[in-house]
């Protein structure tokens, strides 16, 4: 994956900003080498911002639930607007507070004066209104801001469908997090980032109730932003049905807490899933894999993806399905199976016979060896061949990975082994998304 380390983005944050609207651009941009500095007025690097989940739960207006804790990585007082290529302001109630903060408004105006991209979602367009930069600009927002944008001289665009995102000059606007795929694509383009692949890719996501909120949505939107066809299926749900998600977060206890997250919409019927239609399978974590692994047709689907040598990615507890499908242990093939050094010679096992390739690899000769030597060689071959697939795992999955024959890579957040990709959990998503894009043949420059 090409490095975009020279690109950098400033994200202005605050308590009760929308959870997805902060984490999706934060992790996806990092996945492609773009530095994202997150700041909040009155807070320093290392401080936390509380986030909010905004989604419709059956009432006239969206419900607000507590989201993940978001860690800032830069102090607000150290911000130099000229050092960045773009500005992101997530939505959420914090925008009411920063819309009257003169330091924030001055930063927004400097980005606008320089013609740099400014991305606003949901309610953060209020900050642009307060900074006086929407006059004459076509934009959208959460519909409650329609009259506010018009009063400020902006040209209102209805957010239809809700996944749509608009760009007028340097102003990028969207209704909110459902538009993240198009939002990311426009943001990449506005920053001069080029995305290339040899063909359009299709990615299938397996999900169920209590799938981890970030682990399903962030890669789903990231792959959509790269132009992939992204599809989500659940064995007992139809297209348009909802999966409730779970927020797993470190809040100081021995293990992570769990809270209800956003609803995730299934995009196809299970009966419509055909392995041949997809280049890749992604299995997010959370508690949904505990349910999915009890369904034989789900485990069979995972096996078929592996048999057809397609890319498979598993995050967090998603590795439970890899274990059940027998994908973490390496087994012998039917023909040439191993080569390794033994007393300066290369050992080859072919079928039931043992052959030794002498240093001059152009000639091969059978060599008679003793029974003890054969046992020694068999032991070496066994250890070499039956070492399982390299796997990234947090504490939650270590025992399962080991018993399934996998090899734990203790220091890695994301690990590829052939076409198999594993990640420890949602904090590793930037690495996971970067590796997944590379496996699918994407180039980002």
Residues taking part in catalysis: 122
Q: Is residue 148 within 8 Å of 173, Cβ to Cβ? A: no
Question: Crossing angle, helix 19-31 and helix 213-225, to 10 degrees?
Answer: 60
9 contacts: CB under 8 Å, gap ≥ 6:
25, 29, 34, 35, 36, 37, 84, 85, 86, 87, 88, 191
Host H or E run for residue 152: none
In 3D, which of 426, 435, 342 has the Cα closest to residue 390?
435
What DSSP state is assigned to residue 343?
A: T
- Encode 368-415 in three state secondary structure: CCCHHHHHHHHHHHHHHHCCCCEECCCHHHHHHHHHCCCEECCCCCEE
What does each C-alpha distance from 67 to 89, 193, 222 come to in angstroms?
17, 30, 20
CA–CA dist 21, 55 (Å, integer): 12
The full DSSP string for 65-120 is EEEEEEE--S-GGG--GGG-SEEEE--BTHHHHHTT-HHHHHHHHHHHHTT--EEE
Instruction: Name the phi and psi angles at 19, rounded to 5.
Output: -55, -55
């Amino acid at each position: 994956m090409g490095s975009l380390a020279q690109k950098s983005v400033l994200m202005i944050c605050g308590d009760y900003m929308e959870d997805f609207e902060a984490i999706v651009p934060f992790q996806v941009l990092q996945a492609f080498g773009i530095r994202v500095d997150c700041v909040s007025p009155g807070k320093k690097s290392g401080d936390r911002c509380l986030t909010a989940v905004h989604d419709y739960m059956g009432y006239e207006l969206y419900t607000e639930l507590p989201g993940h804790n978001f860690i800032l990585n830069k102090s607000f007082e150290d911000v130099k607007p000229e050092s960045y290529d773009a500005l992101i302001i997530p939505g959420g109630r914090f925008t009411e507070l920063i819309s009257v903060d003169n330091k924030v408004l001055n930063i927004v105006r400097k980005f606008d004066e320089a013609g740099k991209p400014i991305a606003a979602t949901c309610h953060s367009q209020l900050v642009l209104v307060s900074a006086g930069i929407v006059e004459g600009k076509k934009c959208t927002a959460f519909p409650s801001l329609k009259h506010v944008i018009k009063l400020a001289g902006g040209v209102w665009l209805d957010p239809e469908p809700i996944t749509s995102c608009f760009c007028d000059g340097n102003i990028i606007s969207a209704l909110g997090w459902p538009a993240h795929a198009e939002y990311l694509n426009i943001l990449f383009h506005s920053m001069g980032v080029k995305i290339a692949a040899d063909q359009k890719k299709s990615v299938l996501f397996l999900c169920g109730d209590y799938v981890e909120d970030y682990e399903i949505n962030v890669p789903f939107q990231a792959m959509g932003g790269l132009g992939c066809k992204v599809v989500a299926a659940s064995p007992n749900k139809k297209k348009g049905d909802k999966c409730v998600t779970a927020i797993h977060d470190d809040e100081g206890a021995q293990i992570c807490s769990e809270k209800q997250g956003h609803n995730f919409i299934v995009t196809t019927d299970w009966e419509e899933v055909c392995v041949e239609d997809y280049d890749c399978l992604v299995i997010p974590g959370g508690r949904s894999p505990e349910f999915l692994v009890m369904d034989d047709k789900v485990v069979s689907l995972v096996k078929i993806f592996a048999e057809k040598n397609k890319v498979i990615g598993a995050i967090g507890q998603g590795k439970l399905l890899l274990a059940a499908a027998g994908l973490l242990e390496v087994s012998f093939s039917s023909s040439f199976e191993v080569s390794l050094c033994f007393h300066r010679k290369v050992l080859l096992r072919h079928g039931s016979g043992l052959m030794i390739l002498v240093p001059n690899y152009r000639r091969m000769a059978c060599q008679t060896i003793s029974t003890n030597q054969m046992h020694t060689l068999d032991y070496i071959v066994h250890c070499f061949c039956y070492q399982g697939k390299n796997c990234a795992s947090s504490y939650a999955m270590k025992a399962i990975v080991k018993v399934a024959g996998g090899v734990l890579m203790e220091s890695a957040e994301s690990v590829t082994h052939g076409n198999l990709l594993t990640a420890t959990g949602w904090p590793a998503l930037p690495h996971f998304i970067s590796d997944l894009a590379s496996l699918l043949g994407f180039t980002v420059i």
